[in-house]
Amino acid sequence: MSRYFIKDAKCGYDTCFDGCGPHTTAASAIKYKMDDGETGWMYCIQAEGTDPMIALHDEDVYEDIIIGAFPDINYEVNSFGDVNLDIWNKKDYYKLFFKNKNSGVAKLIQYAYTLCVCPTFLETELLDIGKGYYSDEIEISLLNDERRWYEDLKEDLITFIFHIIPLKTIEIFYH
């Protein structure tokens, strides 16, 4: 399993004007370097009204993405490293982060996602925690939506456990 060193990171948003009228595009870009020396760019892109998507490219095309130009790069990434990217909405991202919390790839994706969707007042802090570190070394604070998802998951697990334990107790008592 390879590690991912974060060489550079950027994030922001801009209003684009195209055939659909004005809309906002938020994006993050992370330049990473793998242990074998291979480098690349991971992008998380969210055009107004859509869920964020992960894209990969060999070169820095962040400025083109942020102005809504959408250069010819790989927008349909099915997997990256040891992580399946079958993602359709933000809850799928949270599941990916939760299931793969010990994966450097998942942490890199979480970092790109968080930079893309974070409030602007958190951008500088988030950029500082990643640049110059391996993705598996950084601690990414949960944003409110993700925190609520984890709390709901915990509540669902507790409810599930309390429904199973009484049933098992009754089965044991009557056997």
How many other CB atoms are found less than 10 A from the CB of residue 61?
19
pLDDT at residue 53, as a whole number: 92
Instruction: Output the CA torsion sign for 113, 119, 122, 127.
Output: positive
CA distances from 14 to 46, 82, 124, 127 (A): 11, 32, 17, 18
pLDDT in tens, 149-174: 778 777 777 776 666 655 555 555 45
pLDDT in tens, 8-34: 999 999 886 666 667 788 999 999 999
pLDDT in tens, 82-92: 898 888 888 88
